[in-house]
């Protein structure tokens, strides 16, 4: 029985319905330089998300499939060197969502009069919750759906609080107030803007702090505490990093200039050097986005809420202006040539 069939059997046992795709694919990681790489063998499962009960069912199912595949892999000597992943994703996450304004026809049928009442009632309900009170800046009405033809999409209302909740869920907003301490999973990046081929500045790549390590060497007999993240996060800190901007304004990372500092780092890694570039948290991308959002809130509020929003804005700006966002310097990094012995995967470390 193939791995796909084994996965399907477990999905049916767990009563997972509306399965759209089960396929063994090779997930190739994005690498910005021309180095050989092997894709990650992955059992990709696409299904329809019915309700919140799917969360526990899907998690349990993926775990069972992964355990079975690992047993099969070990039993088959030809597959023993492979790490086969399992990924299950909702169909909605693979489809483009389209947004469009509410049509004049719908407004003419009385929605304009009804919307004022609906908007007021929604605002009162949301303001009644302590976590949302004072955080709602606007409530909008629009059409949202998957068909590119707006007339086929349902009319939706979405409050600013709902949008903000999604931004926090996907960690697009900085956590306030800013703190000097950094925890696992927090966003980090190099402390500099990137210069694009068009001459404009761009924010650097963002990664997360994976874990803390303590390293003891001859130079550090008592140990030194360092943070672990992916190597590609620190690449923009070095001379030779090239960011190409095409005619549509899209950015692409080009191979580094041959012989440059980054070209050598990709080949040989990075050793400990005095005055190496710094790493920051919060990242400037989230900071700038958060500042622009905070400025909108200051303009939207009045009275005490406006004063509170202005104080938060001032604290954010002062935190960065005083350099308190700087986490530390780059200790060392792997480069792109170091790979695992069993399957040749990249050894990302910093």
Whether the predicted pLDDT of 108 surpasses 80: no
Can you give the pLDDT at residue 266?
85
Parallel/antiparallel/unpaired status of strands 40-47 and 187-190: unpaired
> Would you list the domain boundaries of the chain?
3-94, 98-169, 174-350
Give the span between the Cα atoms of 125 and 122, in whole angstroms. 5
Tell me if residue 25 falls in helix, strand or coil. Answer: strand
How is residue 149 written in tokens? 């033809």
Given CATH 3.30.43, say whether it is the number of domain 3-94.
Answer: no
Radius of gyration of the chain from its Cα atoms, rounded to whole angstroms: 25
Among 34-48, 295-309, 317-331, whose mean pLDDT is lowest?
Answer: 34-48
Q: What residues contact residue 146 under an 8 Å CB cut-off, 6+ apart?
A: 92, 95, 96, 97, 98, 153
| Nearest to 196, CA basis, from 137, 252, 131 | 252
The yes-or-no verdict on residue 129 having pLDDT over 80 is: no
All residues at 6 or more sequence positions from 4 whose CB lies less than 8 Å from its CB, including other chains: 22, 23, 24, 43
Mean pLDDT of all residues in the chain? 79
Contact 247, 295 (CB under 8 A): no
* 252: nearest Cα among 289, 286, 205: 205
Going by pLDDT thresholds of 50, 70 and 90, the confidence category of residue 314 is very high
Please check whether residue 153 is in contact with residue 171, taking contact to mean a CB–CB distance below 8 angstroms: no
Neighbours of 223 (CB within 10 A): 11
- Low-confidence winner among 94-98, 105-109, 171-175, 208-212 (lowest mean pLDDT): 105-109
**pTM score, two decimals?**
0.53
3-state secondary structure 47-73: ECCCCCCHHHHHHHHHHHHHHHHHHHH
Q: Name which residue leads in pLDDT, 159 or 90.
A: 90
């Amino acid at each position: 029985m193939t791995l796909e069939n084994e996965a399907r059997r477990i999905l049916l046992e767990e009563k997972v319905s509306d399965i759209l795709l089960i396929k063994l694919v090779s997930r190739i990681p994005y690498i910005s330089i021309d180095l050989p790489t092997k894709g990650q063998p992955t059992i990709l499962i696409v299904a329809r998300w019915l309700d919140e009960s799917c969360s526990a069912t899907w998690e349990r199912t993926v775990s069972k499939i992964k355990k079975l595949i690992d047993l099969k892999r070990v039993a088959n000597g030809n597959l023993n060197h492979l790490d086969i992943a399992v990924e299950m994703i909702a169909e909605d996450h693979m489809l483009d969502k389209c947004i469009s304004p509410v049509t004049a026809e719908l407004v003419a049928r009385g929605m304009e009069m009804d919307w004022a009442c609906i908007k007021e009632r929604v605002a009162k309900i949301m303001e009644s919750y302590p976590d949302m009170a004072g955080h709602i800046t606007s409530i909008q009405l629009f059409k949202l759906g998957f068909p590119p033809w707006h007339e086929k999409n349902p009319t939706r209302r979405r409050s600013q609080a709902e949008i903000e909740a999604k931004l926090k869920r996907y960690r697009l907003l900085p956590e306030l107030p800013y703190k000097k301490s950094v925890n696992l999973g927090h966003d980090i990046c190099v402390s500099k803007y990137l210069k694009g081929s068009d001459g404009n500045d761009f924010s650097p790549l963002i990664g997360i702090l994976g874990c803390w390590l303590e390293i003891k060497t001859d130079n550090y007999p008592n140990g030194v505490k360092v943070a672990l993240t992916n190597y590609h996060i620190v690449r923009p800190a070095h001379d030779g990093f090239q960011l190409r901007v095409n005619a549509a304004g899209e950015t692409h990372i080009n191979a580094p200039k041959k012989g440059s500092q980054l070209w050598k780092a990709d080949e040989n890694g990075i050793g400990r050097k005095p005055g190496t570039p710094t790493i920051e948290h919060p990242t400037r991308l989230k900071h700038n986005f958060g500042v622009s959002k905070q400025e909108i809130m200051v303009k939207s509020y009045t009275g005490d809420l406006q004063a509170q929003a202005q104080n938060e804005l001032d604290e954010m700006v002062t935190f960065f202006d005083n350099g308190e966002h700087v986490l530390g310097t780059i200790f060392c990094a792997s480069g792109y040539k170091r790979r695992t012995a069993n399957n040749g995967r990249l050894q990302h470390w910093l």
